[in-house]
Homo-oligomer: A and B are copies of this chain.
Amino acid sequence: MKKNNEFIPACPIPIQQYPQIMLSHGGGGKMMHQLIEKMFVETFKNPLLDQRHDAAVLSCSSEKIAFTTDSYVINPLFFPGGNIGQLAVCGTVNDLAMAGACPKYLSVGFVLEEGLPVETLWQIVRDMQATALECGVQIVTGDTKVVDRGKADKIFINTAGIGILEYTLEINPREVREGDAVIVSGDVGRHGMAVMAVREGLSFESDIESDVAPLSGLIHDILSEGIHVHCLRDLTRGGLASALNEISQACQCGIHIEEAAIPVEENVHGACEMLGFDPIYVACEGRFAAFVPSEEVQKTLDVMRGHPSGQGACVIGEVRKGSAGVVTMKSKIGVDRIVDMLSGEQLPRIC
C-alpha cells in the first residue's frame, strides 16, 4: 500500500498541551470525551457511528452475515509498506472476504499505553480511515482503554467486522475435494520479512515492502464471475504452510504443492536465507490461497490477474485423495517432503 504525496491534516486535539496519551484519556471524563469526539468520531465520520450510543444500530439486508475479530500487536508499529492501522483494517476485512462475505462494518477497540505520542495515534487513526474508505467499510462503534506505562506496548488494536453474504456458494475448508487446484494470489512471505528486516535493523539492496492490502475487491471479482470456489484462506500467521495444513485437516484430503511453483521475490528469499526462515512459513497480509475445481482454473487465473492484488496469481499444487491432513511438497531438486505445521514460534508479533 503505497502513499502519494498527500495533504496531511493536523492533529485535531491540541498536542502542545497534551503531547502524550495520559491515563485520563481513558477515564470516562472530559479528556476521553475530547479524544473520542475530536479524533475518532470526526475522522471515522459516518451516521452510524454518530448515534453516540452504547451500540451502533445497523441495517442488515442479508439473511446470512459473517462475523470475525482480530487483535493487532505488531512491533514495530510502522514498517515498509504500512502500519498497524492499515493492518487492523485489512486483516479483518480479509477474514470476512475469505468467508465469501462483502465487508460492511467494523468495530475498533484501542488499548493505549500511557505515554504514546498523540501524533502517532493520529497517524494510525488517519490511515485506518483511509484504508476503510478503500475497502468500502464503515467504522461504526469503538472503545478506548488506557493502561499505565509499561503495561502494554504503545498501542494494541482490535477490530471486529461484519460482512454480508451476497452469494449462496458454500466457501469452507470442508468443501475442498480431490482434484481441486491450489492457487496463490501472488508472491509469499513479504509482510513477515519486511517487519523482521526493520526489527533486526537489516537493510537489503532493495527494501522489502509488506504486501498488506485489502482482498475484498479481488474476492468480489472472483465470486461475481460465478467461479465455484471451494475455499479461500489468507496466508497470515504461520504463512502458506500453516494455512494448507489446517485446510488439509479440515477437508480430510492430502495437499501436494511444488516448491518451484511458489512465487517468492528474490529479496525475500535472500532475507529468509540470511535469517534462517522458510518463506512458506512467513506471514503475508495481502495474499490468499484459493481452492477451485480444476476445470475453472484458467478462468480463475484470468480474473485474478486482472486485479492489482492478484497479478502474480498462479497454481502451486493440487488436492489429492488419501493421506488426510498431510501436506507434501516436491522440492526444487525433485524430492517429495512433508510440510509440517510449525511447532514453535517463528516470528512473534508480526501482526
Interface residue ranges, A against B (CB under 8 Å): 22-24, 26-33, 51-73, 75, 94-96, 98-99, 101, 105, 107-111, 140-143, 145-148, 150-153, 156, 158, 160-163, 165, 172-173, 233-234, 236-239, 242, 246, 250, 283, 341-349, 351
B59, A28: Cβ atoms closer than 8 Å: no
Residue on B with the closest CB to A162? B67
Given A95-B55, A242-B28, also A62-B60 (CB < 8 A): yes
A150, B150: Cβ atoms closer than 8 Å: yes
B24, B53, B239: the one within 8 Å of A99 (CB): B53
B67, A55: Cβ atoms closer than 8 Å: yes
A344, B234: Cβ atoms closer than 8 Å: no
Chain B residues, Cβ within 8 Å of A239 = 28
Given A28-B237, A344-B27, A347-B27, also A60-B71 (CB < 8 A): no
B56, B66, B151, B348: the one within 8 Å of A67 (CB): B56
Given A30-B342, A345-B24, also A60-B55 (CB < 8 A): no
A69, B142: Cβ atoms closer than 8 Å: yes
A66, B58: Cβ atoms closer than 8 Å: yes
A151, B153: Cβ atoms closer than 8 Å: yes
Residue on B with the closest CB to A103? B55
Chain B residues, Cβ within 8 Å of A233 = 54
In the bound complex, what is the Cα–Cα distance between A347 and B23 (angstroms)?
9
Chain B residues, Cβ within 8 Å of A59 = 63-64
A-B pairs with the 8 shortest C-beta distances? A28-B238, A29-B342, A28-B237, A160-B160, A27-B345, A55-B68, A69-B107, A158-B158
Chain B residues, Cβ within 8 Å of A28 = 236-239, 242, 283, 342
B27, B66, B153, B234: the one within 8 Å of A346 (CB): B27
In the bound complex, what is the Cα–Cα distance between A147 and B173 (angstroms)?
29
B27, B61, B151: the one within 8 Å of A238 (CB): B27
Given A28-B236, A58-B65, also A109-B148 (CB < 8 A): no
